[in-house]
Amino acid sequence: MIRFANRLGTIRRSGHLVALLAFALTATAAHGAPKAKIEPLTVDIGEVDEGPAFERTVTLTNVGDGVLVLENISTSCGCTAAAVDGTVELKAGESKEIRVTFNSKGQDGDTKKKVTVTTNDPETRHTEVLVTANVHRPVRWEPRTVHLANVGYNDEYEQKVALQVDAKLNVDVKEAFVTEGYGQEAKPSNRFTVEVGEKRSTGERDEYDLKLKLVPGQAPGMIKESLNIVTNLPAQQETLRVPVNGETIGRIRVSPKFAALRIAEPGEEVVRDVVVAASDGTLKVIKAEVPNSPVEVEVIPESGQQTLLRLKYVGEEPGANGVRQLRIETDDPTQSVIEVSVRYGTRAVPASVPAGQG
Which pairs with CB-CB distance under 8 Å and at least 24 residues apart come from 194-200?
Answer: 194/227, 199/172, 199/173
User: Closest by alpha carbon to 206, among 169, 260, 232, 155?
Assistant: 169
Residue 207 burial by Cβ neighbours in a 10 Å radius (0-12, 13-18, 19+)? middle
Task: Output the pLDDT for position 9.
Answer: 40
Instruction: Work out whether the CA dihedral 145, 150, 151, 153 comes out positive or negative.
Output: positive
Q: Check residue 4 and give its pLDDT.
A: 28
d(CA 71, CA 73): 7
Q: What's the pLDDT score for residue 236?
A: 66
Distance CA 355, CA 350 (A): 15
The DSSP symbol for 278 reads E
**pLDDT lower than 70: segments of the chain:** 1-31, 182-184, 236, 350-358
Report whether 147 contacts 159 (CB < 8 A): no
Q: What b/e string do you get for 270-297 counting C-beta neighbours within 10 Å, with b at 16 or more?
A: bebebebbbeeeebebeebbbeebebeb
The radius of gyration of the chain from alpha carbons, rounded to an integer in Å, stands at 33
| pLDDT of 203 | 86
Using DSSP's 3-state secondary structure scheme, residue 136 falls into strand
Query: CA–CA separation, 196 vs 204, rounded Å?
Result: 21
**pLDDT of the residue at 1:** 33
The alpha carbon of residue 184 and the mean position of all alpha carbons in its chain are separated, in whole angstroms, by 25
Q: How far apart are CA 154 and CA 215, in angstroms?
A: 8
Q: Could you give phi then psi for residue 318, rounded to 5 degrees? A: -55, 135
Residue 178 exposed, middle or buried by CB count within 10 Å (0-12, 13-18, 19+): buried
Q: What is the longest distance spanned by two Cα atoms in the chain?
A: 115
- For the chain, list the domains and their CATH numbers: 36-136 (2.60.40.10), 139-249 (2.60.40.10), 252-345 (2.60.40.10)
Rounded to two decimals, the pTM is 0.63
In this prediction, residue 25 carries a pLDDT of 41
pLDDT at 344: 97
Where are any strands of DSSP class E within 120-238?
126-136, 139-142, 146-152, 158-166, 173-180, 187-188, 192-196, 200-201, 205-214, 221-231
Could you read off the pLDDT of 55-87 as tens digits, one per residue? 999 999 999 999 999 999 999 888 888 888 877
pLDDT reported for residue 6: 35
The closest alpha carbon to 212, from 173, 162, 139, 138, belongs to: 162
Return the closest-CA partner of residue 121 out of 58, 59, 62, 75: 62
Residue 13 has what pLDDT? 41
CA angle 233, 236, 241 (to 5 degrees): 80
DSSP state letter for 137: P
What is the SS3 assignment for 146-176?
Answer: EEEEEEECCCCCEEEEEEEEEHHHCCCEEEE
Q: What is the DSSP string of 56-88?
A: EEEEEEE-SSS-EEEEEEEESSTTEEEE--S--
